[in-house]
Amino acid sequence: MLYLTRRETFNAAHKLHIPEWSDQKNREVFGKCSNPNWHGHNYQLFVTVAGEPDPQLGFVMDAKKLSVIIKEEIIDDVDHANFNLDVSWFPKNLQPTTENMVFIFWQRIEQRVNEAGARLYSIRLQETENIYAEYFGPEGRK
């Protein structure tokens, strides 16, 4: 079993806030991340797939095909977008935290990655140089 990781990048705006709460309470809980007028990040997305390399090609999965899947299912919709307003498939009742993003990104690409012959192993998202989240799927890290 070998693991192949592909990095993609996107730039997006978001804010963390709960509409039922006052601005003040949002500020107390989410700090500057609740700024009503949004802020944003250069996100780095790392998708890892697992499998046996094809004996002839030497690929767990063609990295270019993996890139196409990530772009079509995620990047095209989130790059230069607002996570709270523009991303139709991001649930409105979920805060666009790094944790929730990797969870939802998993749903977006798992099937297509698996159909391409590899197994989706993990999705890691770097929000700033100081923070990243990682998800290994519903069965967890194996």
Q: Which residues are catalytic?
A: 33, 80, 127
Judged by CB under 8 A, the residue of 23, 25, 28, 63 near a second copy is: 63
Q: Which is nearer to a second copy, 112 or 137 (CB)?
A: 137
Residue 56 binding a second copy, by CB under 8 A: yes
Q: For the purposes of burial, counting CB atoms within 10 Å of the CB of 132, is it exposed (0-12), middle (13-18) or buried (19 or more)? A: middle
Judged by CB under 8 A, the residue of 22, 57, 92, 115 near a second copy is: 57
CA 8 to chain centre: 10
Least distance in Å: CB of 96 to a second copy?
8
Cβ-proximal residues to 95 (8 Å cutoff; 6+ apart), any chain: 16, 17, 18
Kindly give the interhelix angle for 63-70 and 98-115, rounded to the nearest 10 degrees.
Answer: 130
Question: What does the alpha-carbon distance between residue 12 and residue 22 come to, in Å, rounded to a whole number?
Answer: 25
> Binding to a second copy (CB under 8 A): which residues in 78-137?
79-82, 85-86, 94-100, 102-103, 128-136
Question: What does the alpha-carbon distance between residue 88 and residue 64 come to, in Å, rounded to a whole number?
Answer: 26
Binding region for a second copy (CB under 8 A):
1-9, 11-14, 16, 18, 29-33, 35, 37-42, 53, 56-60, 63-64, 67, 79-82, 85-86, 94-100, 102-103, 128-136, 140-142
